[in-house]
Amino acid sequence: MTTSPAVVANPTVEAREVSKWFGQKVAVSDVTCSFGPGLTGLLGPNGAGKTTLLRMICGLLSTSDGSVSIHGTDPRRDHRVYRTVALVPEEDAVYGFLSARRFVTYAADLSGVSRAGVDEAIALVELISAADRPIAEFSKGMRQRAKVAAALVTDPDVLVLDEPLNGTDPVQRAHLIEIFKRLARSGKTVIVSSHVLAEVERMADRVIAIVDGRLAAAGDIHAIRQAMADIPYRLRIDIEQPRRVAARLIDSDNVSSVTVTGQTLRVETSDLPALGTELPRLAKDLGVRLTVFEPEDESLESVFRYLVRRRK
């Protein structure tokens, strides 16, 4: 039996054939995916349906079709699931007139947990020096961190973060990413949405990609790339006498295009393993030295670019 990479073996959060439409506009269409302990990146361009999917997962929005569950329970039917779920929404869901400390304390009270962890949560997001200032005076990045602290104080099993790194500076971003990774390592289910590819690539081992409201790809980023057999791989090859090598490669059935730039060849191939066998043999025949042989498009950015282009 084969299982889709979009689903995990022991899910804590599941979306089954979920769709959501607002009048004529279809925001999410027939998405089935699940999330388990660890960090999963929910990736998609702006307007792809990530926020809608997350809001359905958290029960803030009803599904037009399909179902969602957290720990096997529909969050819109049983509010008890929220005892162990925390959401950091994309919008500025904070009270400007409250200080960060009061806001995080209120979050602890609303979730019925002890206030003992308030200062710790604020310290963890490095807001302790501004903890008693009104949130209205905060920068965007500080407000984001206040929201994250308000989620962390509840010590959730499932942490859903919608674009949590928006407005944060690079140092804060790296720090927050480290927090999310640490929570994931401790067995929490952490779902982070982002339209910034580099962020997702840095923090998530597993990716769910949404494009135009539909599930575009899921799984480990390298596995996703390998599954896209119809799109040729782009390779960078650094080799002596590149023009001689290029002339031989262009005759190969495994190569669809070759570009020469200085000592570097850029080759497109639909059969990477075959080329991996053929090229060293060719180098030996020609008596030239091969120094670099690496895929150029296994980054999340290039995979994502392919996914978006394919949808269009």
Residues in contact with another protein by the rule CB under 8 A: 58-61, 79-80, 82-87, 89, 91-98, 102, 106-107, 109-114, 116-117, 120, 123-124, 150, 152, 154-155, 179, 182-183, 186
What token pair was written down for 63?
């599904």
CB of 106 to another protein, least distance (A): 6
Q: Are 57 and 73 in contact (CB under 8 A)?
A: no
Both structure tokens of 244: 């001689």
Report the helix count and the strand count for the chain, using DSSP H and E. 10, 13
Tokens of 139: 């920068």
Shortest approach of another protein to residue 150 CB, angstroms? 8
Closest to 212 (Cα-Cα) out of 30, 25, 47, 66: 47
**Token couple for 243:** 């023009």
Q: How far apart are the first and last CA of the chain?
A: 32
Between CA 89 and CA 9, with CA 178 as vertex, the angle to 5 degrees is 75
Nearer to another protein, 155 or 298 (CB): 155
CB-nearer residue toward another protein: 116 or 229: 116
Distance CA 190, CA 288 (A): 49
Shortest distance in whole angstroms from residue 80 CB to another protein? 6
> Is residue 304 a contact partner of residue 197, using CB atoms and an 8 Å limit?
yes
Is the Cβ of residue 185 or residue 309 nearer to another protein in the bound state? 185
Q: In DSSP terms, which residues pair with 207 in a beta bridge?
A: 41, 219
> Residue 6 or 177: which CB sits closer to another protein?
177
Residue 127 CB, nearest approach to another protein (Å)? 13
**CB of 109 vs another protein, minimal distance in Å:** 4
Nearer to another protein, 44 or 89 (CB): 89
State the minimum distance, in angstroms, from the CB of residue 169 to another protein.
20
Cβ closer to another protein: 188 or 225? 188
How many angstroms separate the CA atoms of 182 and 272, rounded? 35
